[in-house]
Chains A and B, each alone.
Chain A
Amino acid sequence: DGGITQSPKYLFRKEGQNVTLSCEQNLNHDAMYWYRQDPGQGLRLIYYSQIVNDFQKGDIAEGYSVSREKKESFPLTVTSAQKNPTAFYLCASSRTDSQYSSYNEQFFGPGTRLTVL
């Protein structure tokens, strides 16, 4: 799982609660991503960030929010507006600082499994 850490590994949320998932990387990567994984659906992009203090919505951003105050950190908040948050959440990062950065693979963290009680 490289130099990306996610915490906690398991998280339980009650109805109506906001919860925040942590993602930290020590790879000195500029780009960071959040994905949601559901059985049989592959990975779907929630949010991504190419640089500090900037981020964009992915395909399924509704009910989620992010911040990027530091290069190393990209926390994801699952808000009460997300009606079906039970899923496996994966954070990833990639380089953008070389002329071949568009070919660079993404490196993934170990994931956080969120369950709504």
Chain B
Amino acid sequence: AQSVAQPEDQVNVAEGNPLTVKCTYSVSGNPYLFWYVQYPNRGLQFLLKYITGDNLVKGSYGFEAEFNKSQTSFHLKKPSALVSDSALYFCAVRGAYSGAGSYQLTFGKGTKLSVIP
């Protein structure tokens, strides 16, 4: 069965500093990985995904993620954090086949990012 781990419940970073939110995964077969962001009392917004190809994936709002197959990791990164980046971040992996060509997503428990002015 597929699983995702986000080892840090909370990450604090100073504004302007680089940020990293960690994610490790366990899958059978090729991993298809996603990052989402959630602002308070809102739905999840898609940031980026890794399917195949370049290990560095670029996404929305200046975020990027590095896929590392040997370490089974997919860490989210941003070179310079903004206060507005403060939110809850979820890593997800493609999970069980749902039929009709679609798959479920298995989510991590989320990491709260706080960017300190």
Interface residues in chain A, defined as those with a beta carbon under 8 Å from any beta carbon in chain B: 1, 4, 6, 30-31, 33, 40-43, 45, 48, 50-51, 56, 58, 88, 90, 92, 94-97, 101-111, 113
B43 touches A105 (CB 8 A): no
A64-B47 Cα distance, complex, nearest whole Å = 30
B8 within 8 A of A: no
17 further contact pairs, Cβ within 8 A, besides A48-B98, A110-B43: A1-B43, A1-B45, A31-B100, A42-B107, A42-B109, A42-B110, A50-B98, A92-B44, A96-B100, A101-B101, A103-B32, A105-B34, A105-B46, A108-B43, A108-B44, A109-B43, A111-B43
- Tell me whether A1 and B94 are in contact in the complex, defined as CB-CB below 8 angstroms, given that A30-B100, A48-B104, A96-B101 are known contacts: no
**Contacting residues, chain B, for A102 (C-beta < 8 A):** 32, 94, 101-103
CB distance from B34 to the nearest CB of A (A): 6
B44 touches A90 (CB 8 A): yes
B11 within 8 A of A: no
A106 touches B101 (CB 8 A): no
- A38, closest chain B residue (CB): B109
**Contacting residues, chain B, for A92 (C-beta < 8 A):** 43-44
Interface string of B42-54 (1 = CB under 8 A from A): 1111100101000
